[in-house]
Amino acid sequence: MDLDGWERVSATEWRIAPRAPMRVAAVLYADEALLRAMDEKVRQQLVNVTRLPGIVEAAYAMPDAHWGYGFPIGGVAAFDADAGGVVSAGGVGFDISCGVRTVLTALRRPQFEPHQLALANELARAIPAGMGRGGYLHLDDAQLGEVLTGGARWAVEHGYGEPADLLRIEDGGQVLHAKPACVSPRAYARMRDQLGTLGSGNHYLEIQAVSEIYRPEVAEILELHRDDVVVSIHCGSRGLGHQIGTDYLQEMVHAAPSFGLQLPDRELACAPIRSDLGQRYLGAMRAASNCALANRQVLTHLLREVFSRLLPAATLRVLYDVSHNICKEETHQVDGAPRRLFVHRKGATRAFGPGHADVPDALRTVGQPVLIGGSMGTGSFVLVGAHADGARAFGSACHGAGRSMSRTGAAKRWSGRQIVAQLAERGILIRSPSMRGVAEEAPEAYKSIDQVVDAAEAAQLAHKVARLEPLVCIKG
């Protein structure tokens, strides 16, 4: 992307001033190298978002931004229902409530390494992964309805976890005001045997070691120390979320003229928040969020079972669980006054700072953990929110490294088997049912995770706490 049209506000903040038909500014957080490496479509999509009714303050893009469906991935925008604001299925995405959960193990790297191969093989057997792969739970519609209402809380109540887990999950593990009745029979059918599965694409379960500590006083509260072994799970609402996105995008496109909406891009299909369609989508989206939370909870249960068999000295406790494809109703200060807004985060995560009421009690002094997943051969990061009042991009930060090459391009360029062999030489064990999937997720197909996270910190979106190095990766 060239810099024409961008006003440089700082080393990591770029702005396009509003001009008709834009309603607000477009703001992108990145250093110059990251910005220049981005596709021109990121600018186009971000500017298109600024044209949606009821948008507040600005449309934002994170340092990992890349082209997506409707919104750029890494896009953040908030809408005021009282000002005619809309909710956009393209602003949430198809993998609703995809997110990351990081789990502490109470193990040190020397304790883990003798068991690395056995754990890699056993996790590959025990954790269902891959496109369309079903799991061990087979739920009827009534049971699925309970999952879509109860989220991770349903899973814990049914023996898949511990009550303490819920204290370290966004929304306490259960998103309120979900409406399972607004979810189509097709979406139900796609989820019937997928609870407790990773899925495909960039989803993974990864055993990691803490390789660097940047803020020791914060890391101590998060119980992170150099050479600690942790596990991160990255997945979402599987086929159910995808079907909800598909169903409502189609309905929103067809309904747009009846709302008087002139869409800058049909992929930005939306509906007024106060409309019946807008409310039905929000209810279905919240149901998908509960599905994703329950999914990560059941996967945590399967993870615990494997560790209990092979490494019983481990004690697995949830550090935090946060979603990054979501729309949430939140209160934010705008022009010095509190406003109730519907904040879309697509490929972006909440990053609430110290003292924020929505941060769990045990973590409130340091802020909400921000879990940034990298590629299978690089690393991941734990950060914490920087601002209690959500002063930057409505309290948001990036969610990963961000792709720099399409999956098709990566599969043409690299061999999955070669990648597995190369990473094994570095001590990183990859297990996947699809070698093409491994090629699509080649580490070189992503931006530099270090560069992205450094830009996020320089922009005061979040503060670095710890870097995590991959040891075992179970890929979908």
Query: Per-residue pLDDT tens for 99-143?
Result: 999 999 999 999 999 999 999 999 999 998 877 777 889 999 999
Query: Per-residue pLDDT tens for 197-220?
Result: 998 888 999 999 999 999 999 999
Read off the pTM. 0.96
Give the domains, in start order, of the chain with CATH numbers. Answer: 7-404+446-475 (3.90.1860.10)
Residue 390 — very low, low, confident or very high, per pLDDT cuts 50/70/90?
A: low
d(CA 230, CA 207): 6
Q: Which residue type sits at 60?
A: Y
Query: Per-residue pLDDT tens for 69-78?
Result: 999 999 999 9
Query: Per-residue pLDDT tens for 215-247?
Result: 999 999 999 999 999 999 999 999 999 999 999
Q: What is the mean pLDDT of residues 83-97?
A: 96
pLDDT (0 to 100) of residue 410? 86
Bond preceding residue 21 cis, omega within 30 of 0:
yes
| Whether pLDDT at 15 is above 90 | yes
| Whether pLDDT at 162 is above 80 | yes
Q: Where are the beta strands (DSSP E) in 242-400?
A: 270-272, 317-323, 325-334, 337-346, 348-350, 369-372, 380-385, 396-398
Mean of pLDDT over the chain:
95
pLDDT (0 to 100) of residue 346? 97
Residues serving a catalytic function are: 399
- Judging by beta carbons within 10 Å of its beta carbon (0-12, 13-18, 19+), is residue 312 exposed, middle or buried? exposed
pLDDT (0 to 100) of residue 291? 98
